[in-house]
Structure formats: C-alpha cells, structure tokens
Amino acid sequence: MTVGVDIAAVARVRAMLAGGNRFAERVFRPAEIAYCAAFRDPAPHFAARFSAKEATLKALHVGLGLPPATRRLRDIEVCRSTGAPQLLLHNRLLTRARRLGITGAALSLSHDGDYAVAYVLLAGTEGVRT
C-alpha cells in the first residue's frame, strides 16, 4: 500500500485558468474540464483535481518535475459519475501502476475556501514495491 496527499491553493489554480484554455487542456482530460466547467465557480473543482493528480504521482513515486510532467498529469483522470470520485490511470502511469502490482485505488477530495486537498491510497495484492 502507498499513499499520496497534496494541497493546492484555489487562487493559484484560478490564476492559471484565467490565462486561457492552455493550462486546462494541458493538465486535464476533456471529461474533467466539462465536469468542472459546469459549476458556477469551477476553480475549486479544478484545484481539487489538480491536487489529486499530484497526490497520485506522489503515491506512484513519480517526480512531478521529470519531463514531460504535463503529459503525466493528463495520464491521471478523476471521474465522478455518482458517489465518490474515482481515479483512472492512462498510458505510462497505468503501465507503472501495473508494474508496481497496484490493483486498487481510493481517492478523497475536499475543497473549502482558499484550499483544495486530495488523498490517494493505492493498494495491491502483493504490496507495492518501488
């Protein structure tokens, strides 16, 4: 089992979103953008998802600073049809998770006021080795 946690300042994410669509399109998948954009104030929802992506990288022991970080962030998708949010991994991060023996994930998101936080737990039948 391995965990990752991250906190994001909503104002920082709001500022990145104000610069146009480039940030959102480089970091989030279309379904995530549509979900967040449906809210009157989408910034806290984007911030929570950004935190989830960084927390997932931490749980996978992948450094955010390693190139190409933005592509790695897009390889993590936060889905929420009903109930609790769920993680979907794509491409290289899915391959890494499988190599680590990860078979399940739990995600918790919260945002209130100035901050958004995410907690990710990754578990496997054989434990997680890095």
User: How far, in Å, CA of 103 to CA of 109, rounded?
Assistant: 20
Q: For position 46, which CATH number holds?
A: 3.90.470.20
Residue 64 lies in a domain: yes
Of the listed ranges 7-16, 50-59, 64-73, the least confidently predicted one is: 64-73
Helix intervals (H) in the chain: 10-18, 22-27, 30-37, 43-59, 69-74, 91-99
User: How far, in Å, CA of 39 to CA of 59, rounded?
Assistant: 29
- pLDDT number for residue 65: 60
For 47, the domain range is 2-124
Q: How many domains does the chain have?
A: 1
Confidence class for position 80, pLDDT limits 50, 70, 90: confident
**Count of residues in the chain:** 130
Query: Given CA atoms 26, 122, 106, 79 in this order, what sign does their dihedral have?
Result: positive
